[in-house]
A = this chain, B = another copy of it.
Amino acid sequence: MDIKKSIQIFDALSQETRLRAFRLLVQAGANGLPAGALSEALGTPHNTMSFHLKHLSQAGVISSRREGKSLIYSANFESIHALIAFMVNDCCSLEFASIRQDKKKCCAIIELADCCKPKERNTT
Contacts and interface: CB of A to CB of B under 8 A. Distances in A.
Interface of A: 1-4, 6-7, 10-11, 13-16, 19-20, 22-23, 26, 29-31, 75-78, 80-81, 83-85, 87-88, 90-93, 95-97, 101-102, 105-118, 121-124
Contact of A122 (B30, B91, B114): B30
A83 B49 CA distance: 25
Chief secondary structure at chain A's binding surface: mixed
A81 B112 contact: yes
Contacts of A31: 123-124
Most chain-B Cβ atoms within 10 A of its Cβ — which of A2, A16, A101, A123? A123
B112 A107 contact: yes
